[in-house]
Amino acid sequence: MAEWWFMEPDAFHAFIRELGERFMLYAPARRDGIVTFTFVENHEDVELSKRPFTSPKAAFLPQTEVLLKFSLRGERVHLSPAQRPESPIAVVGIRPCEAGALKLLDPVFSSPPEDVHYTLRRENALLVGFACTSPERWCFCTSLGSSPFDEDGLDVLLVEVSGGYCALAVTERGRRALEVVRDMLRKADEALLGEIEERRRQAERAMKTLDVERFIARLEDMGDDPIWEEIAARCIGCGICTYLCPTCYCFDIQDEAGLTSGRRVRVWDSCMYPEYTLEASGHNPRPKRVHRVKNRIYHKFRWYVDLFGLVGCVGCGRCAEHCPVNVDIKEIISEVVRR
Amino acid sequence: MKDSPYLPRLARIEEIRVETVGRRPIKTFRVSLKDGGTFTFAPGQCVMVSVMGVGEAIFAVSSPPKGDGYIEFSVMKLGRVTSALHRAEVGETLGIRGPYGRPFPVEEWRGRDLLIIGGGIGAAPLRSLIGYVLSHREEYGSLTVLYGARSSRDLCYREEMRAWAERNDVSLHLTIDRPEEGWDGLVGMVPDVLREMKPSPENTVAVTCGPPIMIKFVMEALADMGFPPEDIYTTLERRMKCGIGKCGRCNIGPLYVCKDGPVFSYAEILKVSRNAGGGGVL
Amino acid sequence: MIDEGRMREVARDLLASGEVDCVIGYARGSVWYRARPVAISDPDKVDMLIFNPFCMQNLATWLKFEMKENGGLQGKYGVVAKGCTARALIQMMQENGISTDDVYTIGVPCPGMVDPRKLGDDVLAMEDARVTLAGERVVVEGERRKVFSRDDVLHETCLLCRYPTPPLYDVLIGEGIEGRPAEDKNLAHLESLPAEERAKYWEDAFSRCIRCYACRNACPLCYCDGCALECLDPQWVYRSVEVSENTLYHLIRAYHLTGRCVECGSCEFSCPADVPLMELNRKMARDVERMFNYVPGMDPKAKPLLGAYDPRDPEGFIL
């Protein structure tokens, strides 16, 4: 079934509803006028029209997660491990770049010792992707080896076409998921295939290509370049770029406890915060914004390459789109390459 | 089913020794695992210690590996977890994860002379190393220890130091920052004393641990005195949360102190110093 | 519109004469509907300075970063100051955060800032455009020309602004503008709601918060060393991102800004999750004004509200 299938809006809703029966649905949904990725109870809340400001990484690495619970009775301490997920997760509406981002998180959490909190969710998940027919101006996935219709890493790829959606089963798991609504699907005809192709071309044409390879090479001897001071001078050191980034994964672990019981939680953390590296002695190896800004860029574009042979950025552009002081990664790449 | 790597093993505090008192006191804790298991570790490795309800912090193991089911770690009272540990009493339960990190390459050092340079609480991992060397004494050449602290009251492991001083196969030099009445050891900052000692780099491995600023000056002094960067080792400290190379914060460039360290050679440090993304490695 | 040429001239003279070491102003962003803060020390670079309807951030905030990272200000700063920026500077002077000698205020009467999101996706999709404020109209000229009513596209905080002209400045670029605040319908509506509905409103808003701290970091008056929100011993707020902790976070901030907030809207502008932070801040500001007849950021010699005692202060809440 490695071919395109057409589904009318009804069939699409039936598909989502059926997924909801077997999976925990994680999808873009509108809440108080804002579209965010969230666990949805009602399949009708799923809204694919707008890319959420958050990335779907939280399905696998929740912003707040209980690692273990404990009870305290004097010298007696009892630990209870975190609960295992009950049903697998289906992420609906994940964009190709975001599926690519999960492939970047995988080596971090699966390398020994395996982080089962992440890997258990990830192993059984179904990724129903949504092709980007109109990429945002901040996007540059084509500069990072991906594209708005990239199927890699997905189980199913959906493309919006006139009158509904076309679905492509990318994996066996995806094929089985579509099988459930088989009766409501019809094979995409020549006209639809042509439309998909045209939309793909349009989306790809809309994106400028940046020379990321050269950027990475240039970073080698740019550790002391004034550009980092220039960027850091306006950075307010908030967590937006890292929290909205689909590939950032840094976390903190803290205890939250009363007198006799409590829990140990993992929460997202950000390398842009000074407290992130501040030691109890008061010593801070990255005391200034310039150190932190540089660390973020170098981590993604050099050290990730050193560690895993992969670039730690997928070009979704969220960090730039939502930065309150317009730190724009595309501009940084162009500027460094231009020099 | 695989276990969470964040799930600690429970341990009992068997003994608490007061090393130093003052504004930033140091205590050494001796613990055993409640499940009856033993710790397998090598000098230089660390353990993540939990005070349940307060949090976790990482400490160098300060006892040598003996396979006797105990480990010791020394704690300076600085933050929330270390303060909670200083309030703890014998019999109380802690959580332990680990051991983590890359230990001192003691096998590689066989046949070499050892120069061990410590400052303050930085003596903790060195104590584990010295204990190891003393129990494998015939495998190593001469053993020279230079240890310093702000004042005589701030020196850790004083009883052991006394015992080492009496051995004829250890050359021990103690130093304090300022002169004190009744003090018959050396006076001066560790890097300065080291330069005056003029140790020979000949077939010698130098190992140092202490406050970041001391490590920096000691390594520079050693390099000046002709020690090749490959023969200078240190063990670094960073704020850590996971201990297993995932939470991100302890990186120096592409290296994670928890996983790729905490033991590094000066050669490795020089290599990552460029573009390390920080205010320097130390 | 502000005479950018005059503003650059002032900045150039200040830098060239050594009157200031650095000018903090606005520069063009990477896209036409963004501007960005910039710190200039070289008089030859003042041509970077702009003032357009996207200069939303309060530049007083950048003095805070200078102070925090360098243990105090390193020299004298020229600051391009809208009404709210100048008020933040005044408030910082009042609280002894900075002194009058630290800052040269380059006052700019502010006609209000445009909220790009209110322009709509089709307008934002234009490759390049120029936006001007002319009286009641906002004109966008790019591949297409589009005219909006000022009331439809300005940030709410700008529509409600009472002090577009700096109350205090060393130089003013152009003529002062009188404030003509719109009626605060949102606040009136919120106040009219029953308690449960208000609670629900804020619960929804705070549950969207991702705790990125952009609101705090963008705030010129959140400059405390050792912020209560990061204190671990005691830990007032857990890092868990859930509605109880998020509420606590925002309430602590709102209380700490009461009698201090200059209503610049930088917090709300910076928030990626659309938390209506200014509604909270305005509620506190209006209450303070009603109860204590006090408006922050107007007079550097005035005493901070919570640092002063007046026997006539209402104390109805005690009895």
B46-51 and A261-268 beta bridge pairing: unpaired
Closest Cα in chain B to C234: B80
CB contact under 8 A, A84 and B1: yes
Q: Which residues contact residue C8 at a Cβ distance below 8 angstroms, ignoring those fewer than 6 apart?
A: C46, C47, C49
Closest Cα in chain B to A112: B244
Specify the pLDDT at position B282.
52
Q: How far apart are CA C247 and CA A178, in angstroms?
A: 42
Q: In which residue are the tokens 């300060």 written?
A: B62
Using a CB–CB cutoff of 8 Å, tell me whether A264 touches chain C.
no
Question: Which of the pair, A280 or A162, is modelled with greater confidence?
Answer: A162
Burial letters for B62-78: b for 16+ Cβ neighbours within 10 Å, e otherwise?
A: bbbbeeeebbbbbbbbb
Specify the pLDDT at position B248.
93
Closest Cα in chain A to B79: A280
**Cβ within 8 Å of C, B 4-23:** none
Closest Cα in chain C to B83: C233
CB contact under 8 A, C36 and A326: yes
Q: What are phi and psi of A257, to 5 degrees?
A: -140, 150
Structure tokens at B267: 């050669």
Q: What are phi and psi of A81, to 5 degrees?
A: -65, 160
Q: In which residue are the tokens 């605060």 written?
A: C184
Q: How far apart are CA C138 and CA C53, in angstroms?
A: 9
Q: Which helix (H) or strand (E) holds C205?
A: helix C195-208
Residues of chain B neighbouring C230 (CB-CB closer than 8 A):
none
Q: CB-CB: which of A31, A289, A322 is closest to C272? A: A322
Specify the pLDDT at position C156.
96
Identify any residues that bridge with A265 across adjacent strands, giving them in sequence order: A66, A254
Q: What are phi and psi of B18, to 5 degrees?
A: -85, 120
Q: What is the pLDDT of residues A61-101, one digit of tens each?
A: 999 999 999 998 877 889 999 888 778 999 999 999 999 99
Residues of chain A neighbouring C270 (CB-CB closer than 8 A):
236, 238, 240, 324
Task: Specify the long-range contacts of residues B23-26, CB closer than 8 Å, at least 24 apart.
Answer: B24/B76, B24/B77, B24/B78, B25/B76, B25/B77, B25/B86, B26/B74, B26/B75, B26/B76, B26/B77, B26/B121, B26/B156
CA distance A267 to chain C (A): 6
Query: What are the structural domains of chain B?
Result: 9-100 (2.40.30.10), 113-235 (3.40.50.80)
The stretch B78-83 carries a mean pLDDT of 94
Residues of chain C neighbouring A233 (CB-CB closer than 8 A):
37-39, 62
Average pLDDT, chain B: 93
Using a CB–CB cutoff of 8 Å, tell me whether C243 touches chain A.
no
Domain spans in chain C, listed from the N-terminal domain onward: 4-115+154-306, 116-153
CB–CB contacts below 8 A, B to C: 5
CA distance C20 to chain A (A): 17
Q: How far apart are CA C103 and CA C76, in angstroms?
A: 6
Q: What are phi and psi of C187, to 5 degrees?
A: -65, -45
Length of chain A: 339
Per-residue pLDDT at B279 exceeds 70: no
Residues of chain C neighbouring B83 (CB-CB closer than 8 A):
233
Residues of chain B neighbouring C233 (CB-CB closer than 8 A):
79-80, 83
Q: How far apart are CA B222 and CA A281, in angstroms?
A: 26
**Banded pLDDT at A40 (limits 50, 70, 90):** very high
Domain spans in chain A, listed from the N-terminal domain onward: 4-205, 212-338
CB–CB contacts below 8 A, A to B: 143
Q: What is the pLDDT of residues A44-58, one digit of tens each?
A: 899 998 899 999 999
For A151, the 3-state DSSP assignment is coil
Using a CB–CB cutoff of 8 Å, tell me whether C246 touches chain A.
no
The stretch A153-162 carries a mean pLDDT of 96
Q: How far apart are CA C107 and CA C89, in angstroms?
A: 11
Q: How far apart are CA B82 and CA C198, in angstroms?
A: 43
The single-letter DSSP state of residue B61 is B
Specify the pLDDT at position A1.
43
Work out the angle between the directed axes of helices C243-257 and C277-292 (0-180°, nearest 10).
Answer: 40
Dihedral sign, CA of C244, C250, C251, C256? Answer: positive
- Interface partners of chain B (CB pairs < 8 Å, 3 or more) are A, C
CB contact under 8 A, A116 and B7: no
Closest Cα in chain C to B82: C233
Q: How far apart are CA C283 and CA C189, in angstroms?
A: 12
Q: What is the pLDDT of residues B132-164, one digit of tens each?
A: 999 999 999 999 999 999 999 999 999 999 999
Using a CB–CB cutoff of 8 Å, tell me whether C270 touches chain A.
yes
**Banded pLDDT at A2 (limits 50, 70, 90):** low
CB contact under 8 A, B6 and A264: yes
Q: Which helix (H) or strand (E) holds C218?
A: helix C214-218
What is the ipTM metric for this complex? 0.94
CB C296 within 8 A of CB C91: yes
Q: Which residues contact residue C202 at a Cβ distance below 8 angstroms, ignoring those fewer than 6 apart?
A: C247, C280
CB contact under 8 A, B10 and A79: yes
Among candidates C239, B242, C208, which has minimal Cα distance to A117?
B242
CA distance A79 to chain B (A): 8
Specify the pLDDT at position B281.
53
Q: Which helix (H) or strand (E) holds C53?
A: none
Q: What is the CA radius of gyration of chain C?
A: 20
Burial letters for B114-149: b for 16+ Cβ neighbours within 10 Å, e otherwise?
A: bbbbbbbbbbbbbbbbbbbbbeeeeebeebbbbbbb
Among candidates B149, B113, B150, B116, which has minimal Cα distance to B234?
B116
Specify the pLDDT at position C48.
96
CB contact under 8 A, B92 and A75: yes
DSSP states along A119-147: HHHHHT-EEEEE--SS--TT--GGGGT--
Residues C256/C258/C259/C263 CA torsion (nearest 10 deg): 110
Structure tokens at B24: 């930033």
Using a CB–CB cutoff of 8 Å, tell me whether C231 touches chain A.
no
Q: How far apart are CA C230 and CA A87, in angstroms?
A: 36
CB contact under 8 A, A64 and C242: yes
Interface test with B, best of C230, C231, C233, C235 (most B CBs within 10 A): C233
CB A330 within 8 A of CB A139: no
Q: What residue spans of chain A are helical by DSSP H?
A: 9-22, 96-110, 116-123, 172-179, 190-205, 212-219, 227-234, 240-244, 289-298, 304-308, 318-322, 329-338
Q: What angle do CA B32, B38, B44 make, to 5 degrees?
A: 90
Specify the pLDDT at position C319.
56
The single-letter DSSP state of residue A222 is -
Per-residue pLDDT at A60 exceeds 90: yes
Using a CB–CB cutoff of 8 Å, tell me whether C232 touches chain B.
yes
Q: What is the pLDDT of residues B15-41, one digit of tens each?
A: 999 999 999 999 999 999 999 888 899
Using a CB–CB cutoff of 8 Å, tell me whether C69 touches chain B.
no
Among candidates B136, B200, C54, which has minimal Cα distance to A326?
C54
Q: What are phi and psi of B73, to 5 degrees?
A: -145, 150
Q: What is the pLDDT of residues C155-205, one digit of tens each?
A: 999 999 999 999 999 999 999 999 999 999 999 999 999 999 999 999 999
Length of chain B: 282
Residues of chain C neighbouring A49 (CB-CB closer than 8 A):
none
CB C246 within 8 A of CB C154: no
Residues of chain A neighbouring B280 (CB-CB closer than 8 A):
285
